[in-house]
Structure 1
Amino acid sequence: MSEASMFFVNRVLKEHKDDKKHTEWAKSWSDILNALQKYVRQVHTTGLVWNSCPGTKPSTSIKQVSSSSASSGNAPPPPPPLLPP
């Protein structure tokens, strides 16, 4: 991701090298992406964790939702469209 962003940052720097506003923005954007990459690597080291405590059962509220949706069955089909007069 950082290589792709640096490609466009370098284009901005090349095209607007005399404009201080653009160069500051490009460097700030690069710093933000580097900080984001560092944060993701520190906090999300193993990827998503769906069950942090293996062997535990889901809460009862989840069971109630899944059982109530299964007992309701399928919804009836919609009525046919009205014919023009």
Structure 2
Amino acid sequence: MTANGKATPPVNGPRRAADVLKVFSTDPGPKRVTDLSLATGLSPATASRIASGLVDSSLLARKPDKSFVPGPGLIELARAVLTDIDIVG
């Protein structure tokens, strides 16, 4: 709740960041801000801010041509997921 008693709006940041990451699973390869914007429906400014934040956390990496690619932090997350999967059954 806010100070005036109104409900606070839901947090969209994590969902938007997930949407940006999912672009790479449905369409592999380097992406420019314009590609991320078109694929997610986010404004280019918002897509750029989110992608830059994901670079800061190593979930995306930035290439010299300014495009984005999946980052090494995704390997760490995948490893954590794989340790919890019982593949033998």
Q: TM-score range by the shorter chain?
A: under 0.3
Bigger proportion of residues as strand: 2
RCO higher in structure (CA 8 A, sep ≥6): 2
- TM-score where L is the length of structure 1: 0.27
- TM-score where L is the length of structure 2: 0.26
